[in-house]
Structure 1
């Protein structure tokens, strides 16, 4: 009988873990702030370097503000059901603020509560995702930072048009991610007036990414991976295909260049996370409400080129790039 009860307890514990995704709790305390410790629920759709860097920046901003914070960190592992369960649990726990790191995470948070303030980052199109009424005037209970610089995609398309042989751009993305669909639309608009065309491949999970990349061999002259969480979490499989078949791989952010992409016009996710953390500090201390804090675009944009990746993908470095790009080996 006791063994049966023990087995039941183990099964129940495992079920709760599956429902809540992958989570951890941590506390960041700073001297001189008094006894108030704020509870922040952190929801993130998947783990990958860019989102992780944004969370690091968020924490550092709050530390720099001298606040004492208890974090409940939950990763949905790409599962939308987990994603919503995490947000609902934060509401039940009555956290002081939800930090939503990705578009799906932010949408789930706003679906779960209209009372607990939400600060988001790594969101491509806050207006299109219906997180805010406008960038200047959010108008609700959420604000944050976007991971799309208005010039990033147009500049990438211009670079491809000017310097890359061929006109077929392979794009792998999850059509179920609103932020990805929005970016593909921006790519199409940026291509007007050129002879470039998109070769799209849609995936639903990270497990499908490698096969999707392989399907572009012979059909695309280069590959462009936007800031799609599903694909970026499995980027190494795309890098391998691009290297094996001499397909220049353009990516949507700098962390993916460091992982092995050829080039990106981007910014540091740490920076947009830090800016979101500064917003969170204003909200937690009662100085501002989300509706009073305009959503922010990234402040810095640069072209980063990976020399090693260029060699592996058959790209000859052009001296013209020296004046417009930074390089990593």
Structure 2
């Protein structure tokens, strides 16, 4: 599978683009303060969100010089989101970047005036973040990772290709996450038609998530598909549990595959965070967020971890390898 992106690079065009970036460097004055709501903890989220900070730097926003980041971390305890959002708003930043649906919704409720950019959100309309994708109005815009329909059926196709004869599939879900609910709804009839059994284990915080992984291991599922965002920051712990039981994990983004999931397939987080940085840049330069259309993820990534395949004793079919955007050896 190739990424759905086409780049045209010419020497002249590249030089002109570089000149535009230099000429549009943010001016003097006090550094702009940008609040960042992170769903996970400082260690895990620093690595995941780095593409956002890297792109901001490329756009001319230098941490400590013309921009200062003010961060709060939910450590995967989304019941803390309202309080953290209120705390962030009380510091009166020039802009807030909110990652995840709960964090974005909490910030939306906490302020109707501070410009806000959301990212890694499945359905901003259902979440009440904006009333219109093309013309958001208000103080909020952002990047949605929705690809119009659940990608879970595609992930199940990959499971069946890689684990022939699979009969029992575990699903890590989160009943508080609209995207997880949509994935479960898409998966149930599909597995029933295929004669496969779905074992659901839900978790709404890190402790419940770890217990849900252990539950699937105890029930001897033959593969696990992930539909819970907590897996992103608990990925190392999840993979440690499943590897001991020799159960392959099928995730939804590169960080999970890099941590040891056998495969991942889903919208590119790097692409989403780069887009969020460009929206933040526009707002910091004077564009009203309500005038900036919500952008949709357009880059899908299939990542294969061959190291995990060898550990699990699984032979990845050539038909999957040739479609992969990245293979981790």
Please list the CA deviations of residues 281-312 of structure 1 after superposition, one character each: whole Å capped at 9, or x if unmatched.
1112223x222222222232121111121122
Aligned residues: 298
2:210 counterpart residue number: 210
Structure 1 residues 63, 116: CA separation in 2 closer, same or farther (over 3 Å shift)? same
CA distance, structure 2, for counterparts of residue 64 and residue 190 of structure 1: 44
Secondary structure class of the residue paired with 1:61: helix
1:23-102 aligned at under 5 Å gives the runs 33-47=27-41, 51-53=45-47, 55-67=49-61, 68-102=66-100
Paired residues of 2:202 and 2:208 also in contact (CA < 8 A): no
Q: CA deviation at 1:148?
A: 4.3
Structure 1 residues 50, 131: CA separation in 2 closer, same or farther (over 3 Å shift)? farther
Q: CA deviation at 1:110?
A: 0.5
Structure 1 residues 168, 137: CA separation in 2 closer, same or farther (over 3 Å shift)? farther
CA distance, structure 2, for counterparts of residue 209 and residue 114 of structure 1: 33
Q: CA deviation at 1:98?
A: 0.8
CA distance, structure 1, for counterparts of residue 98 and residue 190 of structure 2: 29
Structure 1 residues 78, 64: CA separation in 2 closer, same or farther (over 3 Å shift)? same
Structure 1 residues 232, 54: CA separation in 2 closer, same or farther (over 3 Å shift)? closer
Please list the CA deviations of residues 207-260 of structure 1 after superposition, one character each: whole Å capped at 9, or x if unmatched.
23333223223452210113x232332223332332233322101111100000
TM-score by structure 2 length? 0.80
Q: CA deviation at 1:144?
A: 1.2
Q: CA deviation at 1:53?
A: 4.5
Please list the CA deviations of residues 137-187 of structure 1 after superposition, one character each: whole Å capped at 9, or x if unmatched.
334321111344457433212222444222322112232233332333344
1:117 to 92, 115, 119: 115
Q: CA deviation at 1:99?
A: 0.7
1:145 to 130, 137, 143: 143
2:264 counterpart residue number: 264
TM-score by structure 1 length? 0.80
Q: CA deviation at 1:279?
A: 0.5
Greater shift in the superposed pair: 301-310 or 123-132: 123-132
Structure 1 residues 64, 51: CA separation in 2 closer, same or farther (over 3 Å shift)? same
Paired residues of 2:162 and 2:316 also in contact (CA < 8 A): no
1:275 counterpart residue number: 275
2:102 counterpart residue number: 104
Q: CA deviation at 1:109?
A: 0.2
Q: Which runs of 5+ in 2 are unaligned?
A: 1-23
Paired residues of 2:34 and 2:95 also in contact (CA < 8 A): yes
Secondary structure class of the residue paired with 1:33: coil
Query: CA RMSD of the aligned region, Å?
Result: 2.6
1:17 counterpart residue number: none
Q: CA deviation at 1:50?
A: 7.4
Secondary structure class of the residue paired with 2:204: coil
